Amino acid sequence: MSALILLLTGLFLYARFLEPRWLQVKRVPMYMPQLPESFEGLRLVQISDLHLGGWLKPARLQAWLARVNALQPDLVLVSGDFIEETARQEPEELLTVLRALQAPVIAVPGNHDHRRGVERVCQALTDNGIRVLRNEVYTLQRGEAQLHVAGLGDQAWGDDDLDDLLERLPPEGPAILLAHEPDVADLAGPTERFTLQLSGHTHGGQVRPPLLERPLVLPAWGQHYTAGLARAGSMPVYTNRGLGIIRPWFRFNCRPEITLLELQPCSPAT
């Protein structure tokens, strides 16, 4: 019995105090057959689900953003949930830490940003140099070649309009869909217009028992693509596990994540 108590105590301490701080940088080669040659080797860093003002405080995030800068990304993509709605500090104060990012930053809001006041959060992001997309398109241009980032409004709050986003999206050039909730892929994949979807929202489940195929708890709109790389038809979907956490403040078998995606024009097998 004493051994069991020691084991459970150790697991509790690990999941509560160690793993949430044990940052993982995942390097994911992303092969995009339609990628123009001028974008070969483009380095995208994805972060997600900061939930600033909850467990994750600006001082720790600043240290992690230094890790992002060290990867020398061409573009940083943030897939929502910047603010924890119970944070005592105001969004304008919390989000100044994002000025530490040295590359251009594109973002979409998440459901927790809506709970805190999405217009206010988005304005604070804009004031700190971040381009916020809500059913809008950002286009990178290299010579005559284009690469589009299409940012979808939050699905959980009914702020999304995929049809309008598709109308705004130019007909030529590969397009990356940035959407907070990963299950948007069930709607976006069949359009066959997006080359890749990047999402967050699930935190990977936060607690993933090793012998179970799925996490114990997953949010609405995060049931089908829980973490890492998957596919919705022919469209790759990458779900980032996030940097922050929500209560209960535990992570187990699900470390906080920075994702580095290096774009390549085709897979080695082709």
Decide if pLDDT at 269 tops 70: no
Contact 180, 49 (CB under 8 A): no
**C-alpha to C-alpha distances, 30 to 19, 42, 166, 204, 257, nearest whole angstrom:** 27, 10, 23, 20, 17
Q: Residue range 165-188: average pLDDT?
A: 98
Q: What is the pLDDT of residue 79?
A: 99
Q: What is the pLDDT of residue 267?
A: 61
Q: What is the pLDDT of residues 2-50, one digit of tens each?
A: 899 999 999 999 999 999 999 999 999 999 988 999 999 999 999 999 9
Q: What is the pLDDT of residue 213?
A: 85
From CA 154, how far away is CA 149, in angstroms rounded?
A: 16
From CA 212, how far away is CA 235, in angstroms rounded?
A: 26
Decide if pLDDT at 144 tops 80: yes
- Of the candidates 44, 47, 80, the one whose C-alpha atom is nearest the C-alpha of residue 61 is 47
From CA 61, how far away is CA 50, in angstroms rounded?
A: 8
Q: Residue range 170-193: average pLDDT?
A: 98
Q: What is the pLDDT of residues 201-213, one digit of tens each?
A: 999 999 999 988 8
Contact 256, 24 (CB under 8 A): yes
Q: What is the pLDDT of residues 211-261, one digit of tens each?
A: 888 898 899 999 999 999 999 999 999 999 999 999 999 999 999 999 999
Q: Which helix (H) or strand (E) holds 91?
A: helix 91-94
List, in order of start, the domains of the chain with CATH numbers. 2-264 (3.60.21.10)
pTM: 0.97
Q: What's the mean per-residue pLDDT of the chain?
A: 96
Q: Which helix (H) or strand (E) holds 11?
A: helix 2-13
Q: What is the pLDDT of residue 262?
A: 98
Pairing mode of beta strands 257-264, 24-31: parallel
- Give SS3 for 238: strand
Q: Which helix (H) or strand (E) holds 264?
A: strand 257-264
**Degrees to nearest 5, angle at CA 12 with 9 and 15:** 150
**pLDDT confidence bin for 154, thresholds 50/70/90:** very high
